[in-house]
Amino acid sequence: MKAIVNVYLKEGVLDPQGKATRHALESMNFKSVQNVRIGKQIIITLDSEDREAAEKEVKEMCETLLANTVIEDYTIEIV
């Protein structure tokens, strides 16, 4: 079983990397880009057959290490 965790900055938190990427895209003539937010994706392979237990464990991982919950949100997808 795999867990896909997407971590991204909360709304209202400045994203200088996203701003720089947006500026670069504009300079490359991609004029329709209005905003860019940069995040990270973490793929975890789990030795578990219980989907609910796996999601609970990954949530705990996010809360304790993978995401800074003060400034970041995250989503979990178990596949």
CATH number at residue 16: 3.30.1280.10
* Dihedral sign, Cα of residue 40, residue 45, residue 54, residue 78: positive
Is 3 within 8 Å of 70 (Cβ atoms)? no
Q: What predicted TM-score, i.e. pTM, was given to this entire model?
A: 0.88
Could you tell me the two tokens for 53? 């237990």
The pLDDT tens digits of the residues spanning 20-70 come to: 999 999 999 999 999 999 999 999 999 999 999 999 999 999 999 999 999
- Containing structural domain, residue 24: 2-78
pLDDT value of position 9? 97
Q: How many domains, in total, are found in the chain?
A: 1
